[in-house]
Amino acid sequence: MTDSVSEKQAATPTRIPGEAGVWLFVLGDMILFAVMFGIFLHYRWLEPELFVQSQATLNTSYGAINVLLLLTSSWFVASAVERLKKNEAREGHQLLMGAFACGTGFSVIKLLEYSEKIGAGITVDTNTFYLYYFFLTGIHFLHVVIGMFVLGYLISKARTFDVSRNDVAHYESGGIYWHMVDLLWIVLFPLIYLVQ
Amino acid sequence: MTHRSQIIILIWGLVFMAIYGLALWRLLHMWPPPPANWTAEQVAQFYRENTLDIRIGAMVTSWCSAFMVPFACVAAIQLRRLEKGLPVWTVLHLAGGILMSMFLVLPPIFFGVAAYTPDRAPEITQLMHEYGLLMLVTTDQYYIFMMISIAVVSLTTNDELTAFPRWLGYYTLWAALAFEVGALAFLPKSGPFSWNGIMVFWMPISVFGVWVITTSIVMIRAILAQQRAEEGLAAETVGGLESTV
């Protein structure tokens, strides 16, 4: 009995969620961000006082709410994929809508935060801290916006989803991308807003 | 014949790209570019000292800087092979590919103009220099359309002899995203996001080079496979005809 199980396991190769190409994309993007995190830490090390002073002007609540929003959205996406696998298209569709709503919330808060900064006369030209604050969060925000389009596309297809006809890997791939966007913010938030 | 022509113009483009890179490095002295915070006098001095090199570089690149045109043509032909119905993404790719070529063609001309009369007022030379360099690193406008077309067709079609396998589609999406950082060079004059920085110069130029070479190799292999498949089909037809006769 045990033998036949292990034989079976050996025969079926380990399935990767989504498809290999998405992981290639995610790996490439994470390397890109890792380099940018390194750059930020390097300049922080060169001007520690300026970075601590400027950091104090950031709105930590906005950053923290956005962590919660993205974590929640990741849960929505993961649950949606689970539901779709069980062929529960309606529930899957609703859960994806929940993820989209969280992404919208993130975007609104991000734009509010930027407009407050710009209103206070703080721009990329103010100092090195703000230059990297705007660049890093801005590049991340671009990823969020792209993710919203991906979610929008998946939502448009989810209502009529059928496991026998459609490929759940598309949803897994989109989910993997969205989890990466979430993960990057979980690193960015403490790095820019909190680390003393 | 059409298979061989595609491969020939693709390799032609790659050779020209190599010459362009060498000229940028050894003749135009823009690999990596001088710091963005140079004064007008420093820039003028640079062009006075290197006037002949840079003019020769501009001459050499006048012959070979349109190297993306053959690439875009072959890629468009390969996209057309896959796309069903009206060739929307194919046309978008070709238009984007041809137009982005302009931003590789123009910077060496500006460097050549700057070096052409190096004793003019330094501010004027600086203007040409800044124009050339910012054009080289910040021009992302057409890449998006060129690369997204490849990604869309790659990820939405299913063909055994495709020139754009799915992993290439994802890789292309990532490369397109990595390029977008280049436009940030308009903002800082020093650091990794200035025009000689790692994020704006080194990263996009290596991503671009590796992407063009990888995509070309994948396309050449697919074209060869398409040729073999067609020859096999032709031989089969001939064999079939002979047997019926």
B-interface mutation test, from A16, A27, A32, A170, most B Cβ less than 10 A away = A32
Q: Is the peptide bond before B87 cis (omega within 30 degrees of 0)?
A: no
Number of structural domains (chain B) is: 1
Q: Is residue B76 part of a domain?
A: yes
Tokens of A12: 């079926």
Query: Can you give the pLDDT at residue A13?
Result: 64
- Whether the per-residue pLDDT at A106 is higher than 90: the answer is yes
**Contact call for B192 and A39, based on CB within 8 A:** yes
Q: Is residue B69 part of a domain?
A: yes
Query: Can you give the pLDDT at residue B64?
Result: 96
Please give the span between the terminal C-alpha atoms of chain A, in angstroms, as a whole number.
57
Query: Can you give the pLDDT at residue A12?
Result: 60
- Whether the per-residue pLDDT at A94 is higher than 70: the answer is yes
Query: Can you give the pLDDT at residue B197?
Result: 94
**Contact call for B174 and A135, based on CB within 8 A:** no
Q: Is residue B207 part of a domain?
A: yes
Query: Can you give the pLDDT at residue A92?
Result: 94
**Quick one: closest CA in B to A43, which residue?**
B191
- Least confident segment among A95-99, A168-172, B12-16, B107-111: A168-172
CB contacts of B182 in chain A (<8 Å) are none
Query: Can you give the pLDDT at residue A160?
Result: 87
pLDDT in single tens digits along all 245 residues of chain B: 699 999 999 999 999 999 999 999 999 999 999 999 999 999 999 999 999 999 999 999 999 999 999 999 999 999 999 999 999 999 999 999 999 999 999 999 999 999 999 999 999 999 999 999 999 999 989 999 999 999 999 999 999 999 999 999 999 999 999 998 999 999 999 999 999 999 999 999 999 999 999 999 999 999 999 999 999 888 887 776 666 65
Does the interface predicted TM-score (ipTM) exceed 0.90? no
Mean pLDDT value of segment A119-146:
95
Q: Which residues contact A136 (CB under 8 A, 6 or more apart)?
A: A36, A37, A40, A188, A192
Query: Can you give the pLDDT at residue A161?
Result: 87
Q: Is residue B245 part of a domain?
A: no
Query: Can you give the pLDDT at residue A2?
Result: 46
Q: Is residue B242 part of a domain?
A: no
Mean pLDDT value of segment A129-139:
96
Q: What is the 3-state secondary structure (H, E, C) of chain B?
A: CHHHHHHHHHHHHHHHHHHHHHHHHHHCCCCCCCCCCCCHHHHHHHHHHCHHHHHHHHHHHHHHCCCHHHHHHHHHHHHHHHCCCCCHHHHHHHHHHHHHHHHHHHHHHHHHHHHHCCCCCHHHHHHHHHHHHHHHHHCCHHHHHHHHHHHHHHHHCCCCCCCCCHHHHHHHHHHHHHHHHHHHHHCCCCCCCCCCCHHHHHHHHHHHHHHHHHHHHHHHHHHHHHHHHHHHHHHHHHHHHHHHC
Q: Which residues contact B131 (CB under 8 A, 6 or more apart)?
A: B110
**Contact call for B171 and A25, based on CB within 8 A:** yes
CB contacts of B192 in chain A (<8 Å) are 39
For residue A168, what pLDDT band results from cuts at 50, 70 and 90? confident
**Contact call for A28 and B174, based on CB within 8 A:** yes
**Are residues B129 and B47 in contact, defined by beta-carbon separation less than 8 angstroms?**
yes
Closest CA to A188 of A5, A39, A26, A24: A39
- Whether the per-residue pLDDT at A9 is higher than 70: the answer is no
| Residue span of the structural domain in which B19 resides | 2-237
**Contact call for A21 and B167, based on CB within 8 A:** yes
* pLDDT tens digits for range A17-59: 888 889 999 999 999 999 999 999 999 999 999 999 999 999 9
CA distance B132 to A132: 25
Query: Domains in chain A, please, with CATH?
Result: 29-194 (1.20.120.80)
CA distance A28 to B218: 19
Q: Is residue B244 part of a domain?
A: no
**Are residues B142 and B203 in contact, defined by beta-carbon separation less than 8 angstroms?**
no
- Residue written as token pair 């498949």: B229
- Whether the per-residue pLDDT at A10 is higher than 60: the answer is no
Q: Is residue B208 part of a domain?
A: yes
Nearest to A25 among B174, B188, B191 (CB): B174
CA distance B224 to B11: 14
**Collapsed DSSP state (helix, strand, coil) of residue A163:** coil
Task: Return left, alpha or beta for B194; rule: phi > 0 is left, psi -120 to 50 is alpha, else beta.
Answer: beta
Query: Can you give the pLDDT at residue A1?
Result: 43
**Are residues A147 and A77 in contact, defined by beta-carbon separation less than 8 angstroms?**
no
CA distance B58 to B105: 10
